[in-house]
Amino acid sequence: MLRTILTALTLFALWLLMSGIYKPLIVWMGVGSSVIAVYVVRRMDNAADTERLAVRLRPLTTIGYWFWLLIEIAKANWAVTKLILSPKMNLNRHLFKVPYTQKTDLGQTIFANSITLTPGTISVEVEEGDFLVHAVSYSGDDMDALSDMDRRVAAIESAGA
C-alpha cells in the first residue's frame, strides 16, 4: 500500500514538473491521471505474474560511476571523432567476447549499455557469461578497459543483491 501511494506521489511530482501550469482544474487533472496510471499499473501487476524489478544499487557509488562514465564517454568520443576526420580511416573492426561478472539483470544491463554508450564499442549479443562486443578500432587495451568497467559496474551492485 505504501508503495502504491509513493508511486502515485512520484508520478504527481513528475507531472507538476512537466506541466508548469498550476490552475486548480489542470492540477486536479494531474491528480486524476496519476491515480489512473497507478490503478492501471496495479492491475497489470496482478495480471502478469512476473517478478518486480528490484533496484538494489549503492547510491553514492552509482553517482561516482556516472561521473567516471561521463569522462570515459568524452575520451571515447574524441578517439572516434579523430578516426572519422582522419583522411585515412584506419579502422580495425573486430567482434570479441567480454565476460561479465554482475549478478543482477540490472547490473548486466548497466554494463551493456555503458559499453554501447561509449563510442567505439557496441554490445551486440548476450551469451551465458559473455557479451559479444563489436569495436571499430580494436586494440589490446580495449580488453583491459572493458574489464575495468566491468569491475566498476559490479562494485555498484549492493552485496545483498
Partner 1 sequence: MMGLIVEILSWILIVSGGAFTLIGAIGTLRFPDFWSRLHAASVSESAGMILLIFGMCLQAGPTLITVKLLIIGAFIIITGPTSTHAVASAALTSGETPESDEDTRKSQEGKS
State the minimum distance, in angstroms, from the CB of residue 116 to partner 1.
Answer: 4
> Interface with partner 1 by CB under 8 A: which residues?
17-18, 20, 70, 73-74, 77, 80-81, 83-85, 89, 91-95, 112-125, 132, 134, 136, 138
Q: Which is nearer to partner 1, 39 or 78 (CB)?
A: 78
Q: Which long-range contacts (CB under 8 A, 24 or more apart) does 51-56 make?
A: 53/105, 53/106, 54/104, 54/106, 54/161, 55/106, 56/104, 56/106, 56/157, 56/158, 56/160, 56/161
Smallest gap from residue 9 Cβ to partner 1 (A): 17
Name which of 38 and 115 has its Cβ closer to partner 1. 115
Quick one: which of 147, 155, 51 has its CA closest to 99?
A: 147
Collapsing DSSP states into helix, strand and coil, what is residue 137?
A: strand
Cell 549499455, residue located? 113
Least CB distance to partner 1 at residue 15 (A): 12
CB-wise, 39 or 84, nearer to partner 1?
84
**Least distance between partner 1 and beta carbon 36 (Å):** 21
Residue 35 vs 80, nearer CB to partner 1:
80
User: Distance between CA 73 and CA 15 in Å, rounded?
Assistant: 31
